[in-house]
Structure 1
């Protein structure tokens, strides 16, 4: 079996359990989304990059495609001002 850093890569690990003590804050959620009707997800991880985040979201929203997608933003900083981000992109 393939091992990386001493871990069996075919073994199942519960990484959510490892980090469940870390709080998450949902800043914005659009209601009534049928997740079975989404073709793909654009995931944008960011850390203290409000201007770059806005550019990334604008770029994703301005694509001319005929498929349904969702955008998930993961911000790893608790002092970013999530309300400000929600206000600017909504």
Structure 2
């Protein structure tokens, strides 16, 4: 049986840390496949943080972050490694005019 839709569930935004009622948040699936719900636990973003996200495809991003040990290394070392790896794999980063 489906859980009651009238209950108020509170979730925490993974970006800003605010607690919000579930209906004021968006599901976030770090694997980019929020429709496949088997054995998944979703994180949440509040609507303002969700709106601030870049909604472009992020193919290979999660694997790249894991490969580069994101969150496990010093910030400056991680960023240098990230920029170097992205340029190596995808070419020079240039801003569009």
Q: Which has the higher strand share?
A: 1
TM-score by length of 2: 0.27
TM-score by length of 1: 0.29
- Higher relative contact order at CA 8 Å, sep ≥6: structure 1 or structure 2? 1
